[in-house]
Amino acid sequence: MVCVAVTGLGGPRGPQEETLVFGPFQLFRGQRTLVLGDRRVRLGSRAIDILIALSERAGEVVTKRELMALVWPHSLVEESNLRVHVGALRKALGEGPAGERYIVNVSGQGYLFSVPVTRMTAEAPPPAEAPTPVSWPEAPSQIFGRDAAIDSVAQQLGFRRLVTIVGPAGVGKSTVAMAVGDQLAPRFEQGVVFVELAAVEGDTGPTAALATVLGVSVLAADPIASLVTHLQAQSILIVLDNCEHVLDPVARLVEEILRGAGGVRFLATSREPILVASEALHRLQPLGFPETSAGLTADVAMTYPAVKLFVARAMAGSDTFGFTDADASAVADICRRLDGLPLALELVAARVDLFGVRTLAGELDDRLMMVAGRSRTGQPRQQSIRGALDWSYELLSPVEAETLCRFSVFRGPFSLESAAAVGAATERNVPEVVDAVASLTAKSLIATDTTGSSIRYRLLHVTRAYATEKLIQSGQAQALARVHAEHHRALLTAAEHDWERMTRAQWLDEYGHLIDDVRAALDWGFSEVGDLAVGAAITTVSLPFGFQLSLIGEFRRRAELALSALAAFDPPDHLAELRLLTALAITDLNSSVDKAARIAVLARTDAVAAKVVGARYKIEYLLAKAIYHLESGDLEEAVKSAAGLSAGAREADDPLAILLADRVSAQVYHFVGEFERSRSLAERVLRHPALTIPLVYSQASVNRRVSMRIILARGHWIEGRAEQAVQVMDECMAMAYADGPFAICLALGLGACPIALWTGDMAKADVQIAELLKYTERYTIERYHRLGQGFHAIAERARAIPDSRTASLDIMTVVPATQLQIELLATLDGDFVDDELADRAERRLCGWCNPEILRAQGERALRIGGAAAQGVAEDAFSAAIDSARQQGALSWELRGATSLADLYARQAKPDAAHDVITGVLAKFSEGFATADVRRATALLESLSL
């Protein structure tokens, strides 16, 4: 679950603006910001609209029709939407200064803002920073009776590296952990992350969950070691919530990270200790409640946190409840019978509107006594929660009860549309399910998230576990699991289509929350009671989802599992097989799979592609093939593959397929060395109005505005336009950071880092190389990590001996992943040129960098020495100059001319040296501060002395 917590108001204040003040709150209308003390209160845009409308007309009834017209001016919505947002507002606001409700329902009319509102002018808070997605659930707006526990746990974490909050289900362990995290966040440089383990299973589940929250792709062979490497230099607090069902794997994970990463601290919640040697325990007790009800007044009762919690939740859910002396005894009885357990209190408080507290107290007493008497095992408090859940469940209507059970198949947040699809799968109709959602939400059996543009729902873990038991008992569990899986298959198919009309950020916001349910659907499909055909189909449509969430390793394994299942299909599904194999080919480019394995996958893909009818379905396969040959340095085959892709796109008669083909052709022709042709194609691709390229054509798609700017920037530098290269590359990096990890690594690895090194801007190069290494390590993008290591070694050498070749770079420590990388690194340091690469250059196989490899071979000959060295070098430099001129590669031509002029100068041929270098320098119109131009200019000046 990805949320944004309440944030502080650091930074300079804004300008004066009109403010509405009520109770301890300030509402800045201009910024649409609600402030409590020094904190922003996180509210969704709809809730803010409602709050502004009501507070501006404080003391006046605003009809429901007026509010809905104001908040949803262009949509027809159910009144339940308004109720949900008003409920969210009530929870956020709590009680007024005198204990009154801020928003009062006026029966049959609308809502009234009941507290006085003062208008004043005040300094606006600083503009809110764009919220950074963090794994942190939204904490309750009010926490009762936990100050001492929060302070105690925070103090323990000051000198202990693992603290576990232990207590029964429903006691509030997660709430305390969230509050401690909020309090301690400033003490940790990398902050606090929250890892929800409730839905996690198996020995590797906790490790995978932590990796997902941290955004780290881990190596399958030793995932914990990958996490240790990522965390070893960090100062961070990791909160592990609901550990009790995965204690052994959590213990292993925690022990290894504590051993290898000294700046990490853990805060865990569990029903029992984790039993790690360094573990400190905090046993969380229930909330305090009155031991007796005799003579109890409301004021005295409200000194107990259990009563405060019950009353607050009852008032949030009921428009008519007011806590008086007459209710004090009954409320105290309820709190006592529920043992002060927060979860049970909240569940029961949700029924006050229906029954009243006195009726509740009598019925709850009998119910809990009966439940407690059913079993001699388990703790009484655990039985009390089950009793509360039993009682709440049995008070539901048949439709509500059935709907709640069906929703237990969801593992994460779900939309109203998903609720309808699963809830109305059999017998029930959509209106019944929608009404049940509203009712279950009002009864606190379904939680809501109203901070986004649309409402999402979820079941609390305890509620989901309880409802799952009921679903299994009903005999519908397997049928609903199938419905759930098929529904998420449909959602993923819709996600493919929506990719074409959304930005990546919008797409992830819309679909990213599905990850746990997609995993659950896949797990069911490949289980003994599942359906392999459904599992394979979901895998096929989920691959782009995995790529865009940077879960390459996980979804590669799932693709292999699906391919194994497909092998048994009769008749075979060649189309699904082709897409899965193409996914393997693409992921292998970013992994440590050896060349032979890549060739085997490609050969198998070729064989399957031959059996698939329809050019449209082969587009991505042809794309992967072209990129494979390009990375392998087989430029002739890359050109053939690009031509095949273009032909296939035109046969498919799809403008977006043609756009993709042009994009790939721009890349291929750049690396072939046809820079003008490449530039023309890249500019055409950038002019195309399409937002994105369909995922069916490119599962691991990087925004073409990034990939084409890389090509343009590189072309500018090679053709002698260094300043334009830097400008375009800066634009490219801004777009890459908005696009995602792969775009960032691609832009840094092929564009920003080499251009900075080529121009001699070492300060900028250092920053960008560090970024590349950081991102490639975090997301386990091994191909570009190796390239980053090469850049780092080159930069280190340049700092140590900037003008000398007396100490060789230890290239044995740098292992480029592809031929393309070898050639790129060779343009930055001649020691990467070996006999094999020199032979490729002599046979004109290095394309874009062929002139520079020839020049480096000449420099290599001079370093080795010998009687023929100068002659060999002169021939190499001359060949480099001729090759560069044929390509229009002015920067390569300058390097060749500088090397040749330097040789002539050493041979006492100053006039020849002068003529060689002057003619080339005269062609430059910019980039005079680059290292190459400065070196050439300095050499020219030395010839005049």
Confidence of residue 12 (pLDDT cuts 50, 70, 90): very low
Query: What separation in angstroms does the CA of 353 have from each of 317, 403, 619, 713?
Result: 7, 21, 60, 66
Predicted confidence (pLDDT) at residue 320 exceeds the cutoff of 50: yes
The one-letter amino acid at 280: A
Query: Domain check: are 306 and 267 in the same one?
Result: no
Strand partners, 824: none
Q: How much is the average pLDDT of 149-155?
A: 93
Lowest mean pLDDT among 166-180, 404-418, 836-850, 921-935: 166-180
Query: Domain check: are 386 and 434 in the same one?
Result: no
> Does any domain span residue 192?
yes
pLDDT at 553: 75
pLDDT at 109: 86
> Quick one: which of 548, 462, 540 has its CA closest to 502?
548
Q: Look at the pTM and tell me if it is higher than 0.85.
A: no
Query: Domain check: are 424 and 385 in the same one?
Result: no
pLDDT at 290: 92
Query: Domain check: are 386 and 443 in the same one?
Result: no
Distance CA 78, CA 81 (A): 6
Residue 457 contacts residue 419 (beta carbons within 8 Å): yes
> Does any domain span residue 226?
yes
Collapse the DSSP code of 770 into the 3-class scheme (helix H, G, I; strand E, B; otherwise coil) and give the result.
Answer: helix
Where is pLDDT greater, at 803 or 417? Answer: 417
CATH number at residue 36: 1.10.10.10
Query: Domain check: are 248 and 181 in the same one?
Result: yes
List pLDDT tens digits, range 648-705. 999 888 898 999 999 999 999 999 999 999 999 999 999 998 878 887 777 777 889 9
CATH number at residue 181: 3.40.50.300
Lowest mean pLDDT among 234-248, 568-582, 592-606: 592-606
Query: Domain check: are 162 and 183 in the same one?
Result: yes
Collapse the DSSP code of 75 into the 3-class scheme (helix H, G, I; strand E, B; otherwise coil) and give the result.
Answer: coil
Lowest mean pLDDT among 152-156, 362-366, 425-429, 608-612: 362-366
Query: Domain check: are 409 and 388 in the same one?
Result: no
Last residue of one domain, picked from the residues 89, 123, 157: 123
Query: Domain check: are 913 and 937 in the same one?
Result: yes
List pLDDT tens digits, range 760-806. 999 999 999 999 999 998 888 888 999 999 999 999 888 775 444 44
Distance CA 496, CA 507 (A): 10
Q: At a CB cut-off of 8 Å and minimum separation 6, what does 49 contact?
A: 70, 71
Where is pLDDT greater, at 105 or 595? Answer: 105
Look up residue 752 and give its DSSP letter.
I
Helix (H) or strand (E) holding 496: helix 477-498
Distance CA 119, CA 121 (A): 7
For residues 856-866, one letter each, b for 16 or more C-beta atoms within 10 angstroms of the residue's C-beta and e for the rest, the string is: bbbbbbbeeee
Neighbours of 221 (CB within 10 A): 8
Residue 67 contacts residue 50 (beta carbons within 8 Å): yes
> Does any domain span residue 873?
yes
pLDDT at 81: 66
Query: Domain check: are 384 and 412 in the same one?
Result: no
> Does any domain span residue 577?
no
List pLDDT tens digits, range 609-663. 888 877 777 888 888 889 889 988 999 999 999 999 999 999 888 898 999 999 9
Exposure of 394 by Cβ count < 10 A (0-12 exposed, 13-18 middle, 19+ buried)?
exposed
Label residue 145 left, alpha or beta by phi (over 0 means left) and psi (-120 to 50 means alpha): left
Last residue of one domain, picked from the residues 475, 498, 519: 475
Last residue of one domain, picked from the residues 360, 394, 428: 394
Query: Domain check: are 844 and 928 in the same one?
Result: yes
> Does any domain span residue 567?
no
Q: How many domains does the chain have?
A: 5
- For 649-661, give the DSSP string: HHHHT-HHHHHHH
Distance CA 797, CA 833 (A): 16
Domain boundaries, position 430: 398-475
Query: Domain check: are 94 and 215 in the same one?
Result: no
Residue 198 contacts residue 461 (beta carbons within 8 Å): yes
Q: Considering the chain, what is the average pLDDT of its residues? A: 85
Distance of CA 795 to the CA centre of its chain: 31
> Does any domain span residue 657?
no
pLDDT at 123: 67
Where is pLDDT greater, at 226 or 239? Answer: 239
Query: Domain check: are 162 and 117 in the same one?
Result: no
Confidence of residue 133 (pLDDT cuts 50, 70, 90): very low
> Does any domain span residue 318?
yes
List pLDDT tens digits, range 711-741. 999 999 999 999 999 999 999 999 999 888 8
> Does any domain span residue 583?
no
List pLDDT tens digits, range 367-392. 443 333 333 334 343 445 676 678 67
Q: At a CB cut-off of 8 Å and minimum separation 6, what does 457 contact?
A: 407, 413, 414, 415, 416, 419, 437, 441, 446, 447, 448, 449
